[in-house]
Structure 1
Amino acid sequence: MTELIDIGVNLTDKRFQHDIDDVINRAKASHISAMLITGTSLASSRQAIALCQQHPGFLFATTGVHPHDASSMTDIVMEDLASLSKQSCIVAIGETGLDFNRNFSTPEEQIIAFEQQIELAKSTRLPLFLHERDATEKQVQLLKPHSQQLKGAVLHCFTGDKNALFNYLDLGFYIGITGWICDERRGLPLKSLVKEIPPERLLLETDAPYLLPRDLAIKPKKGRNEPAFLQHIAMTIARLRDITFEELSMQTTENTRRLFNI
């Protein structure tokens, strides 16, 4: 079977701490050829790097400060992020962006932290790993002046509307699709919209342990998502796009390797 790459998995989450080796082995058995661990803070980025060093060539990572934690951003934090970005396993800056839905950090704090990480992505020539919720207009406004100078970007865990999709596509960005598309309630708009994503811009992710596909025939007891379920997500997307699983796998793997240089 054609192999897949999971571009977004939170392996540093405490729900993986007791069986992470089993999780990784199940991913490999499910034809996952590589995974990107999402860094959302200095601490999680350091933990991600440590995991990557245990599994070189299979695990890669991002380093950044999530908008929820933007209030923690300082000059020292930025210096540390810049230092971590030099690690060979780091392939993107983020998870960064804007989240005006929960506002765990104020919009002003989020914008400052986001702008700093955009500059870091430009200086390191690493792509951006983007989060966005209820902030499309402002996020696009902040990104647009830099789009030609960026190595690239992916809108991670895209759940937006058609306007948001085409705004990000117009910037030349990639779109990450998760198990949200398997939700028979919340995922309905995305099911129709996924056909609009150009094949060369589509990426796959689980965002594990979050967003367990709701239509799995056999669900894990504690409702924890994991990379082994990426195959199920890919099959759902292939069916919605009216292509074969093999075509989708080959295209998204090629896209991932191109964007993240792995």
Structure 2
Amino acid sequence: MEQKSIAVIKQLLESDNITDTFINELRTDERKGIKKLIERYERKKQKELELEDRYKRMCWFEQKNYAKSHRFIAGMDEAGRGPLAGPVVAAAVILPEDFKLLGLNDSKQLNEATRNSFFSIIKEQAVSYGISIVDCKEIDRVNIYKATKLAMYRAIGELDPVPDHILIDAVNLDQLPCSSESITKGDQKSVSIAAASVLAKVTRDTYMRKLHNAYPEYDFASNMGYGTKHHLEMIREHGVTPYHRKSFGPVRQAVR
């Protein structure tokens, strides 16, 4: 093989436009720089194989239901049940049967840049999606558990077409237009639920960053309304905003 420069070989490996024969020939190259490039390339390919395997396993619930002749399978998840401030957000999404997004996972396991990128891809490629925001006043009126279910029902109601089956992350819903199943840690086991978790979290995070601009002392852009030490200190020092959940213990104590 004609010896190519390390820079050229690096470019070829990064382009992925190479053959197994080429890789095998590179393995006989004694240059240290080439050996490092090969090691990096093989780590990359191994990671890709792991992502492929994980994605295939996360399609199991969808494939099971496609085999039952269900055509439109929705994933459902929520974000924001635990915070002291801000809304609870639910999302439902129907993905195409051939949808593929390697690395898709529970939104909390993804970094912000990846979540935002996946958010755009999911919305663009989905057959349909629905996102529902239930504010703190409604949470205080009916309690967080009922508010979460209300958000989920509203998100499902936005789907068109109507789903044949719904996969839900750890919540049982009984007033649905089709069959459903609740899956514990579903956002780590189903691509549809994982996609819904990304839609819900990015929507809620965006909402909380807007609140941060209005109430910067509470640092909502970082804590997303959760009861961090700093957030609790600010509640004690400044009181509560119209966006705090007054039915939650730490907030309720502050308004006495």
Give the alignment's TM-score, normalised by structure 1.
Answer: 0.23
**Higher relative contact order, structure no. (Cα contacts within 8 Å, ≥ 6 residues apart):** 2
Give the alignment's TM-score, normalised by structure 2.
Answer: 0.23
**Structure with greater proportional helix content:** 2
**Structure with greater proportional strand content:** 1
